[in-house]
Amino acid sequence: MTNSLTLPRPDDWHLHLRDGAMLAGIAPESARHFARAIIMPNLVPPVVTGAQARAYRDRILAATGSEFKPLMTLYLTETTDPADVVSAHDAGIITAVKLYPAGATTNSASGVRDFDRVRGVLDAMAEAGIPLLCHGEVTDPDIDIFDREAVFIDRVLDPIRNRTPGLRVVMEHITTADAVAYVQSQPDDLGATITTHHLVINRNHILVGGIKPHYYCLPVAKRETHRQALVQAATSGDARFFLGTDSAPHTDDAKESACGCAGCFTATNTMSILAQVFDDAAALDKLEGFAGRNGPGFYRLPVNADTITLEKTAEPVTYPTRIETGAGPVTVFDPGFPLYWRVT
């Protein structure tokens, strides 16, 4: 039995850090264990230019300290200037560009409605090797919310990839066996992030025995067979799958509401949860790839030289149930089972 596990310091390839008092309150939760993170640009207003990304990066560094490396993204709109994207990338300010179909999730109103209008940007990104990160859900009102990811693959993602050869794409926070199968069927210019919470919850966790707003996120968790497909993909050793926590803080009053916000906050206990999930799947040896190596491999960045050590505990680990921030309290994701792994 393995009781201790040393990994390259992990990175988080999909993270929401927000801004202002919320940023100050929650950023240390990620910086404690993670070396780098891909920072989502869905602020209000969104981060759409290289200059805005640079200013946001500096606000993040002020909250985390310079040990942590935020990898910035731009929010793709129908008026994004291809030259600004390429020059921000060349200057080392941005790492990727994020595609939100308009209306798909929190703060996505400025997203893309007509994909033909972003062709010029996508062509420039393919040319410059800048990855496109997709929120993979269609927003058509006639498509059932549980089908929106699978339909996105057929109607949007596959056509974009076919018409933009060489474009490197990450399907963010995949939630279905359909997405796992699509990624597995494609060459390695397509990767996928998997969140901590989607490895743990299915849709019953949200709805059975009363509605659980802290388990509501987008894409919404699907049925158990899909969760199992995600665990299988994450623990398979396939380098196209890597960790993107999608840790997405909202204050408790915004979550526990008649129209609650989507997002699970997992930054605080992600590494303990992942170690438990991988241990339970008899795949602890695959955690290093999933959390430490596969992401840098896709992004063509070095693996972190620094390490962290996880240790198996006799008693369940304790962690705060909520983080108090200047913007209000944020509830930490409760996996619903005890965790026997802690970061030393």
Tokens 């600004």 appear where? 84
Which among 99, 13, 14 has a CA at the least distance from the CA of 48?
99
Number of amino acids touching ligand NCD (CB under 6 A): 11
CB of 16 to Zn ion, least distance (A): 6
Work out what residue 262 binds among Zn ion, ligand NCD, none; the CB cut-off runs from 5 to 8 Å by kind.
ligand NCD
Work out what residue 198 binds among Zn ion, ligand NCD, none; the CB cut-off runs from 5 to 8 Å by kind.
none
Residues 270 and 323 sit within 8 Å (Cβ to Cβ): no
- Judged by CB under 6 A, does residue 111 bind ligand NCD? no
Please, which of residues 4-23 interact with ligand NCD by CB under 6 A? 16
- Judged by CB under 6 A, does residue 198 bind ligand NCD? no
CB of 262 to ligand NCD, least distance (A): 3
- Judged by CB under 6 A, does residue 197 bind ligand NCD? no
The tokens of 141 are what?
Answer: 């009102």
Per annotation, catalytic residue among 11, 84, 238, 246: 246
Q: Is 246 a catalytic residue?
A: yes
The tokens of 226 are what?
Answer: 């899909």
Work out what residue 105 binds among Zn ion, ligand NCD, none; the CB cut-off runs from 5 to 8 Å by kind.
ligand NCD
* Integer Cα distance of 186 and 309 in angstroms: 34
Query: In the chain, which residue ranges form alpha helices assigned H by DSSP?
Result: 20-31, 50-64, 82-90, 119-128, 148-152, 158-163, 177-184, 203-207, 224-234, 252-255, 270-280, 287-288, 294-299
Binding mask 263-302 for ligand NCD (x = CB under 6 A): x---------------------------------------
CB-nearer residue toward Zn ion: 84 or 246: 246
Work out what residue 218 binds among ligand NCD, Zn ion, none; the CB cut-off runs from 5 to 8 Å by kind.
ligand NCD
CB of 30 to ligand NCD, least distance (A): 14
Tokens 């066996």 appear where? 177
- Judged by CB under 6 A, does residue 105 bind ligand NCD? yes
- Judged by CB under 6 A, does residue 217 bind ligand NCD? yes
CB of 85 to ligand NCD, least distance (A): 20
Q: Which amino acid is at 247?
A: S
Q: How is the chain split among helix, strand and coil, in percent rounded to 5?
A: 40, 15, 45
* Integer Cα distance of 189 and 172 in angstroms: 14
Residues 34 and 11 sit within 8 Å (Cβ to Cβ): yes
Where are any strands of DSSP class E within 61-103? 69-75, 94-99
* Integer Cα distance of 27 and 63 in angstroms: 6
Q: Which residues are catalytic?
A: 246
State the residues that interact with ligand NCD by CB under 6 A.
16, 42, 105-106, 135, 217-218, 246, 248, 262-263
